[in-house]
Structure 1
Amino acid sequence: MKFRLRHSASLFAIVLVGACGAMSLDGQKENVPGVRNFTRVDGSIACGGSTEPSAAAELARRGYRTIVSLREDGEAGAVTAEMDQAARAAGLRFVHIPMSAQSPSDGAASAALAALRDGGNSPVFIYDASGSRAAAVLMIKRMLVDAWPEDRAYSEAVMIGLASPSLKAFALDYVARHR
């Protein structure tokens, strides 16, 4: 009996340490040259803010397969054509889904969600100017696809960079209409 209890306690400790180690990988802020506010969310998704084309090679080196840009062409600092070219030169896919920060559309959110769900794209780096739109899209994914409760999905989105009350409202409304 003592052996079984000791063995069970040891196994529990190993599982607990392993689980805590795995959790520490999620939501990790990292310094990636050319990427503002880079957050590795988990093994399949990272989010960020303003991203320079020069970052594509580093993202490829880190194992990302796809870059998804939510920036609109008219945004200050948006370099869509250059990012597309740099991504392809680094061997990455580039997906451009213009999503307005002021009035996001269901179409853009659905397209971004589809890009995140496409296993052929994984791992994915998704970005916009600040990371707020990317965080809102991830919040939608967490609630609709991963079945996370709102408070958990929102907490993660804030950690990533969601700062806009209107983007939060859009994400919650989108989830309510697509459940």
Structure 2
Amino acid sequence: MLSLNNISRPTLLAGIVLVGLVFGFWTEATSKAQDEAPAGVVNYTRIDATVACAGATPAEVMPELKRLGFSSVINFRTNEENGANIEVSRAAATSAGLNYIHIPFRTPTPETTEEFLAAISDSTNQPAYIHCASANRVGAMWFIKRVEQDGWDTERAMAEAETIGLRSERLKEFAVGYVTR
């Protein structure tokens, strides 16, 4: 068992400072990502400099996405979804100078997955903004991307996917089944 009596004061102080710095950087990064989220966007998560994931995204924010540095919008919503406004979103994205990639699905298939993997790996689409209604489908596709293209293990990829918004057991089963086929 570790005893504080055996730890020197400088070592203890260094540990406390390190924890404080890590917490500070994490808090600042989280705060910046939240501050960056365009108004009206649901479940925004900035993954890194090349991608952000989100849920419902109004067409009106397309110019803001361009200002934030995105080159493309990848949308998984179907025409039938309430508030999806696919053609309005496409026109707004195009007008803002964004590539608009529509891969509609409610239930993923190997074909929609391959289409997404091709789109996300195309350097002309980077940085990419990926969205659906709640970020649930985005999380599933991002899980697959992390395992298939980035070589992540499934546990690490699932933790990130759940942070993004993956909640559906059906989508989790598809994603895990896809990468273990």
TM-score in same-fold range (> 0.5): yes
Aligned-partner Cα distance in 2 for 1:69–1:25: 26
Match of residue 160 from structure 2: 156
Q: Which amino acid aligns with 1:112?
A: F
Q: Of residues 112, 123, 129 in structure 2, which corresponds to 1:125?
A: 129
Q: Of residues 86, 91, 96 in structure 1, which corresponds to 2:97?
A: 91
SS in 2 for 1:71: coil
Q: Which amino acid aligns with 2:65?
A: L
Aligned-partner Cα distance in 1 for 2:118–2:178: 14
Q: Which amino acid aligns with 1:37?
A: N
Aligned-partner Cα distance in 1 for 2:98–2:155: 33
Q: Of residues 36, 54, 65 in structure 2, which corresponds to 1:59?
A: 65
Mapped contact 1:57–1:87 kept (Cα < 8 A): yes
Q: 1:99 to 1:25 in 2, by over 3 A?
A: farther
Q: Which runs of 5+ in 1 are unaligned?
A: 1-16
SS in 2 for 1:41: strand
Aligned-partner Cα distance in 2 for 1:44–1:60: 13
C-alpha displacement at 1:112, in angstroms? 1.0
Moved more, 69-78 or 56-65: 69-78
Match of residue 113 from structure 2: 109
Among the aligned pairs, what percent are the same residue?
A: 38
Q: Can you list the C-alpha shifts for 1:60-115, whole angstroms capped at 9, x where unaligned?
A: 00000000100011111111000000001101110000111xx2111111111111
Mapped contact 1:139–1:154 kept (Cα < 8 A): yes
Q: Of residues 24, 34, 37 in structure 2, which corresponds to 1:31?
A: 37
Match of residue 140 from structure 1: 144
C-alpha displacement at 1:34, in angstroms? 2.8
Match of residue 45 from structure 1: 51
**Structure of greater Rg:** 2
Relative to the length of structure 2, the TM-score reads 0.80
Mapped contact 1:99–1:109 kept (Cα < 8 A): no
Mapped contact 1:25–1:42 kept (Cα < 8 A): no
Aligned-partner Cα distance in 2 for 1:95–1:25: 28
CA RMSD of aligned residues (A): 2.1
Q: 1:161 to 1:111 in 2, by over 3 A?
A: same
Establish whether residue 76 from structure 1 lines up as the match of residue 105 from structure 2.
Answer: no
Aligned-partner Cα distance in 2 for 1:105–1:73: 17
Q: Can you list the C-alpha shifts for 1:30-69, whole angstroms capped at 9, x where unaligned?
A: 4321311111111111100000001101000000000010
Aligned-partner Cα distance in 1 for 2:78–2:147: 25
Q: 1:40 to 1:115 in 2, by over 3 A?
A: same
Relative to the length of structure 1, the TM-score reads 0.81
Q: Which amino acid aligns with 1:143?
A: V
Q: 1:82 to 1:25 in 2, by over 3 A?
A: same
SS in 1 for 2:180: helix
Match of residue 14 from structure 1: none
